[in-house]
Amino acid sequence: MKEVLLVKLGGSVITDKAGGGGIDNAALADIGKVFAAHNDRISVILVHGAGSYGHPEARSHHLDKGLDSNNKAGIFITHRAVRTLNDAVVNALRAQGMEAVGIHPLSACIADNGNLQSFDSEPVELLARNGIVPVLHGDVVMDRSRGACIVSGDQLVRCLAESLNVDRIGLATDVAGVLDGGAVVPHIDPVSASSLVIGESGTTDVTGGMRGKINELLTLAESGASSSIFHISRLGDFLDGRDHGGTVVTR
């Protein structure tokens, strides 16, 4: 059996989030090559953030305040934006000879009060088992109490890790790991987390930055699943199971 890895690509890794700009196709091509080089040994479930795709649309339609009679178009427009990015990620893997398809949370997930509630992960599981990389993304989803909300890639990682039997979990970001006073914190658990002073991501988004990321991973760690946060340049090290120079979150 291949090792099953749940990997998240931060939105800032694959888009020019700060500049309000496009898909970073050069970065995606490099990422596709790293995954392809490991394709015979690992089975990957991939999640990516929205970066500069989706967050501006969600914000301009005030989807963070829920759905009302005036912002319904924000659902289509936000989803279309993140789907465009998702298509690029899928195509970057396929360009390297891997099989991959986009899986869209709007079609499959429900949230309540901004928190992801239900997600039938069996399509994801069967795709991975058949050697096809399911590529999920932060998305707008319907919300029982708010009408609609944004679910982050980090929420999806937590939810997928809880329902699927994955061997390792890794979050590739544009920083070296969780930083405290500029230095990477090599290890975080619930006790040490409470004493950390953690800066927000350089460019904040509507889904929570590094603090939100750690909270999702600590929730996961409670159930025994440890996870890693590392710089995207160390993706190959993570896939190989080597030291990645980043942060490991455990219970």
Output the smallest distance, CB 68 to a second copy, in A: 10
DSSP structure class, residue 40: T
Q: What are phi and psi of 237, to 5 degrees?
A: -60, -45
Q: Which amino acid appears at position 177 of this protein?
A: G
Strand partners, 147: 143
Whichever of 44 and 127 has its CB closer to a second copy, that residue is 127
CA-CA distance, 160 to 119, in Å (whole number)?
8
DSSP structure class, residue 245: S
CA-CA distance, 87 to 102, in Å (whole number)?
7
Whichever of 40 and 181 has its CB closer to a second copy, that residue is 40
Output the smallest distance, CB 153 to a second copy, in A: 15
Whichever of 103 and 193 has its CB closer to a second copy, that residue is 103
Both tokens of residue 84?
């465009």
Output the smallest distance, CB 122 to a second copy, in A: 5
Q: How many helices (H) and strands (E) does the chain have?
A: 10, 14
Output the smallest distance, CB 169 to a second copy, in A: 21
Whichever of 108 and 179 has its CB closer to a second copy, that residue is 108
Output the smallest distance, CB 214 to a second copy, in A: 28
Whichever of 7 and 100 has its CB closer to a second copy, that residue is 100
Question: Read out DSSP for 76-100?
Answer: HHHHHHHHHHHHHHHHHHHTTT--E
Number of other CB atoms surrounding residue 22 within 10 Å = 14
Output the smallest distance, CB 178 to a second copy, in A: 32
Whichever of 41 and 129 has its CB closer to a second copy, that residue is 129
The residues that touch a second copy, with contacts defined as CB under 8 A, are: 67, 69, 72-73, 75-76, 79, 90, 94, 99-110, 118, 120, 122-123, 126-127, 130-132, 141-144, 147-148
Whichever of 141 and 172 has its CB closer to a second copy, that residue is 141
Output the smallest distance, CB 58 to a second copy, in A: 14
Both tokens of residue 225?
């699943």
- b or e along 72-111 (b: 16 or more beta carbons within 10 Å of the residue's beta carbon)? eebbebbbebbbebbebbbbbbeebebebebbbbbebbeb
